[in-house]
Structure 1
Amino acid sequence: MTNVIDESGILAISTRLQRLSDQLRKDGLQIYKSNGIDFEPKWFPVIYTLHLKPVLSVVEIAVEIGYSHPSTISLLKELEKQKLIRSKKDKADERKRLIQLTEKGKALVNDMQPVWQKMVIALTDLTNTKNNLMKAIEEVEQQMKSFGFLDRALQL
């Protein structure tokens, strides 16, 4: 059964992407829970980034995950409260905070890696359609970088 949003086509692309994102996060939370892992999917970008790049400044994390500085700080506060990350002052520049995983954070990543492997398989299967979603997202992101939605609309 379709609804108004489904029928509105391209005009509702943001709503449809948000709906898809919400469902993926909800399912991701259930996958973590079913594997005995207490983890919020919204924490993933920071945890995964620090897993691959063990010490980063707040600004570097924001750039890596593509979030605004305030959104990144909000996530970092949550993760610090959970004792998954810690920060220390940069010896070279005391205004800069360097962020890294705690031992608890590293142990969590270790526990999550087999779950991530399952998620990759399930998500690859889910998105492996005629119009592969990941490829389409990459193409649209490239288009947005070169000449975005706002620019295109203002040009009309």
Structure 2
Amino acid sequence: MTRRNVTVAVTGAGGTGVAKAMLAALQRDDRVGHIDLLVSVDGRKLVAYAFETGEDTDSVLRPLEATSPKVRSLDPADMSGAVTSGSCPSDAMLILPCAAGVLGRIAHGHTESLVERAADVMLKQRRQLVLCLREAPLNLIHLRNMVAAPRREPPCTP
């Protein structure tokens, strides 16, 4: 059986519980060989405020860090991280939750962070990229960015 390598990125606090559950499931999955974990700088700041979890920063981030040998936690400020290269053996990337600003920057090719650069690599290598936007209600800009991201097309004009 071929094992898949997955990159998991967390870009906000709203949905941290779901990100923890997904990371735990991936660690248990025998089909997953390696997980690169990216928690954005803003994601770390938002978690610190504990908008959703009611926990302090350390107890929220601890479960997201390496809890098995499969997981490698990458520094979100290191733009030279392995995931910034097309030669990185990542088969899929999941951004959970994906902040609306991150979605917009990915959709338009602006790579200001390691998460955005890794997503850019996934798109240009035509690898699987899953963006789990956590916004409600959605506005027209969000919808246009959702359509533009996988195709890397300019947004529609009214």
More strand, by proportion:
2
TM-score, normalising length from structure 2?
A: 0.26
Who wins on radius of gyration, i.e. which is larger? 1
Q: Greater relative contact order: 1 or 2 (C-alpha under 8 angstroms, separation 6 or more)?
A: 2
TM-score, normalising length from structure 1?
A: 0.26
More helix, by proportion:
1
